[in-house]
Structure 1
Amino acid sequence: MGLRPVMVNIKAVDHVAVGRFWAGALGWTAHSRSTTWVAPGDEFVWPDPVVIGVDVVPVPGAKTAKNQVHLDLAYEKGLVDRVRDLGATPVDIGQGDVPWTVLADPEGNEFCVLEPRDVYRDTGPIAAIVVDSPDPRVSARFWGAAIDWTPRQVTGDFAALRAGSGDGPFLEFLRAPGGGDRLHLDLLPTDEHAEVERLRALGATDLDVGQGAVPWTVLADPAGLGFCVLNPE
């Protein structure tokens, strides 16, 4: 098996502006070409050999619904003020009275800035990639097998996975109805055909989001979450 998450894909009307926002929020660098690649370091390197980067891609339509996927940012003193200065705005998604801060980027994509938590002390700036799922157990089972990440906690309402190395962000699933598709994961295989067939055997299905003829494969997991398997060439 050779399949690893290499980036969170964010759709944006203005990919340059949104990419600059996320670069400022994460303390990384934005490299704008046909898309805006956000990753550590001053040089353009894709994929980053260590971190899961952010790729902001241009689309014509604005966001219309709460996203199914959002990012949780690890605690950093002054981070809330910094992202607000960059253009983030408070947003109410029904979170109630919680110790973390819920915000949206300049095009309305939700994210959270967390309070200090020991579990996220060594994740880097992205603490977790969080997915709304109708069944976190099903999602954790599929994704654990798909990318060989280790379950850290699995209940009926919440599941958390992390790379076996203990590096990088968590992948978390919260019991909640699905939402919009402005964010998704892109996976890099060693062999696209073999990995796509393996994912289908695990329960993934082909997904048409209007992509047309592209060199990558668009799939949905058993809970309906869309993701892409890239062409390694």
Structure 2
Amino acid sequence: MGLRPVHVNIKAVDASVVGRFWAEALGWSAYSPGVTTYVGPAGGLVWPDPVVVGVDVVPVPGRKTAAKNRTHLDLATTSLAHQAELVARLKDHGATPLDIGQGDVPWTVLADPEGNEFCVLEPREVYRDTGPIAAVVVDCLDPRAMARFWGEAMGWVVHKATDDLVHLRSAEGVGPYLELFRSPHANTAPDRVHLDLLPHPGDDKAAEVARLKALGATDLDLGQGDVPWTCLTDPEGNEFCVLALP
């Protein structure tokens, strides 16, 4: 069946501020169940959510470096007016425009209050039913090879594949896409943004971790110590974690 992504983990010096920003960006609510700030649909904290991929903002002592994150979020919009309104509103809440060499494109590249990159997309039919997060985008050297790993890891289906970009989505056709985007730059530094995955009820976490290692994942020591989750990297060195079932 594969593991399911339950949230995008974002590191921040001030998790409450960054969490409130992402709640504004997604039209969701910020919850503080512990030391982290979780952002998910309004109406009360539900974790794991049965459909959405949430955002979990984790406090860390160090600020982001100038290096671009290899993982970022693309936000969906329903019209050009919605796109313009969202960009303007997020700038009022601390977002800043970014030039990462994108040139003249119909989407807008921004950074959250601590410099984490994201894009506000123009309306696209492919994202009409994803919810506010259109896609989780991961930079990689070889999108097709990475699609084989992530497709097997999560049991997701390839919807479109070129040498430069691969789109995957859950087999149920719900929630955001995972998009693997070709980048000429290899991963060289710890990222501020990564996916956290969760076994399905009844599955064995240790067996799932072993399966991922057989697919090419490797152990990652970030100084996390004795914790219930397992830190790994994909075959190109991008970080992710496998969480314990609640």
TM-score by length of 2: 0.92
Q: Superposed, which structure 2 residues align to 1:41-80 within 5 Å?
A: 41-64=42-65, 65-76=67-78, 77=82, 78-80=85-87
SS at match of 2:52: coil
Structure 1 residue 42 displacement after superposition = 2.7
Segments of structure 1 that go 5 or more residues without pairing to the other structure are none
> Which of 184, 202, 226 is the matching residue for 2:194?
184
Residue 41 of structure 1: how far off its partner (Å): 2.1
Q: Who is 1:205 aligned against?
A: 218
What is the 5 A alignment of 1:18-57? 18-32=18-32, 33-57=34-58
AA paired with 1:196?
A: V
- Length, aligned pairs only: 233
- CA shift, 1:44, in A, is 1.8
User: Counterpart of 1:212 in structure 2: which amino acid?
Assistant: G
Aligned-pair CA distance for 1:87: 1.0
Match of 1:195 in 2: 208
Is residue 2–residue 152 contact of structure 2 (8 Å, CA) maintained in 1? Answer: no
Structure 1: how far apart are the matches of 2:236 and 2:163?
14
Cα distance in 2, alignment partners of residues 148 and 192 from structure 1: 15
Report the RMSD for the aligned CA atoms in angstroms.
Answer: 1.2
User: What secondary structure does 2:224 align onto?
Assistant: coil
Distance 1:160 1:61 in 2: 33
Q: Deviations over 1:11-46 (max 9, x none)?
A: 000000000000000000001231000000231222
Whole-angstrom distance in 1 between the partners of 2:165 and 2:190: 20
TM-score norm. by structure 1 comes to 0.97
* C-alpha deviation, 1:96, in angstroms: 1.1
1:126-145 equivalences under 5 Å are: 126-145=133-152
Counterpart-to-counterpart distance in 1, 2:232 and 2:178: 18
8 Å CA contact 2:7–2:196 kept in 1: the answer is yes
1:166 is displaced (CA, Å) by 1.1
- Which of 74, 93, 104 is the matching residue for 2:100? 93
* Cα contact 2:166–2:180 (8 A) shared by 1: yes
Q: Within 5 Å, which residues of 2 pair with 1:155-174?
A: 155-174=162-181
Verify the 8 A CA contact 2:5 2:53 in the aligned structure 1: yes
Task: Give the letter for the 1:188 counterpart.
Answer: L
Task: Among all aligned residue pairs of Structure 1 and Structure 2, give the percentage whose two residues are the same amino acid.
Answer: 68
Q: What is the Cα deviation at residue 2 of structure 1?
A: 4.6
